[in-house]
Amino acid sequence: MKDVLTNIFMILIFLFVGCSSYSDDGGGYPSYREDVDIAGWQTITAEEAYLIMAEADNFIILDVRTAAEFQMSRIDGAILLPYDELILRAEDELPDTNAIILIYCRSGNRSRTAASTLVSLGYTAVYDFGGIINWPFDTISG
């Protein structure tokens, strides 16, 4: 029975992803990927995150690095919430548990941990796009 429910859940996820408003815009950016992590968040590429930023009306870009790393270079519009402070601060700083949250760090390790933490706290639209070292678009500093 558990296998049947798991299969039904995965089919529903694939249907949701397939019916998403994010699709290839002809510019080569892929739609949401169908490789949803078992833990409840989705791993996407930097290009997919960029597409979401361009098309979605409501999203949060979450930088989970340290304050020093954030000051050196960050994605414009990102908010800083270090991954080791998520449990203490997420409820206050990320009050909408249904908001699209796009997470990054330096290389992808902390963003994966942060994605797992957010899902465990009840967030439902969590997307890990890895590290800023793989971000091919503009960043800001200061």
Domain ranges of the chain: 33-134
pLDDT tens for each residue of 74-94: 999 999 999 999 999 999 999
The answer to whether 131 and 44 are in contact (CB under 8 A) is no
**Token representation of residue 17:** 């992803």
pTM across the whole model: 0.74
The superfamily (CATH) of domain 33-134 is: Rhodanese-like domain (3.40.250.10)
Distance of CA 25 to the CA centre of its chain: 20
Size of the chain in residues: 142
Q: Is 19 a catalytic residue?
A: no
Q: What is the pLDDT of residues 11-46, one digit of tens each?
A: 333 333 333 333 333 333 334 444 445 458 899 999
Per the residue annotation, which of 62, 81, 100, 105 is the catalytic one? 105
